[in-house]
């Protein structure tokens, strides 16, 4: 399977348009950042063109450049950050405000403050599988795949039918930790929950497993 540069750009465009449709819902939010990394970073390494915020870079991309350049924050997201920072200062027990603050940092490609916001939300109200999954994505983006797996594991333990946590677990195992068999096992667990599960580009998980089983 191969994607043209035009198809690649279309996937990125769809992600940007749908980013806030349903935070924590599989293939629209947390899974999308991980899966685009799979297709753009691993299947197309020869023509890799990173898209800010939503594309997870492949392991071979230049990390030093990322460390020296601060990502530009969309004015709308910057306003969201200011809004929810103010709310959480004035009402530090406001769980929803902490979650929304985490989402705004998530979309601004600021994993460390997103981790702090999601962690605070979970301290106030434990047991949210979607927030745990978003937290796991941020740990992964922060270069901490083991901690990402820990959060995905907590999410799936809380909700045995939680699809996105199992999907993301497979992505991290396959592409960060190079544990092919464990990754495939995670996706097979997802298929046990939903035999028709698909990746964001519409590829069935069965086909994804087949590709990585070669």
Domain extent, residue 188, equals 5-212
Span 125-183, pLDDT tens digits:
999 999 999 999 999 999 999 999 999 999 999 999 999 999 999 999 999 999 999 99
**Residue 99's closest CA among 109, 110, 84?**
84
pTM for the model? 0.71
The enclosing domain of 142 has a CATH number of 1.25.40.10
| Count of the separate structural domains present in the chain | 1
Say which residues have a Cβ less than 8 Å from residue 189's Cβ, sequence separation at least 6.
166
Confidence of residue 214 (pLDDT cuts 50, 70, 90): confident
């Amino acid at each position: 399977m191969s994607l043209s540069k035009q198809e690649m750009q279309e996937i990125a465009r769809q992600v940007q348009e749908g980013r806030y449709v349903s935070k924590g819902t599989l293939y629209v939010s947390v899974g999308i950042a991980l899966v685009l990394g799979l297709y753009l970073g691993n299947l197309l390494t020869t023509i890799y063109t990173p898209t800010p915020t939503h594309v997870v870079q492949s392991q071979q991309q230049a990390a030093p450049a990322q460390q020296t350049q601060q990502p530009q924050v969309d004015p709308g997201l910057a306003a969201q950050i200011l809004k929810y920072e103010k709310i959480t200062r004035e009402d530090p027990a406001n769980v929803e405000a902490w979650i929304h603050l985490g989402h705004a940092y998530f979309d601004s490609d600021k994993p460390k403050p997103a981790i702090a916001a999601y962690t605070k939300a979970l301290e106030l109200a434990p047991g949210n599988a979607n927030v745990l999954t978003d937290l796991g994505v941020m740990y992964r983006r922060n270069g901490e795949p083991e901690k990402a797996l820990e959060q995905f594991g907590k999410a799936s333990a809380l909700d045995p039918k939680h699809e996105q946590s199992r999907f993301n677990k497979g992505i991290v195992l396959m592409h960060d930790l190079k544990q092919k068999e464990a990754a495939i096992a995670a996706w097979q667990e997802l298929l046990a929950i939903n035999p028709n599960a698909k990746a964001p580009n519409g590829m069935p998980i069965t086909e994804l497993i087949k590709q990585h089983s070669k």
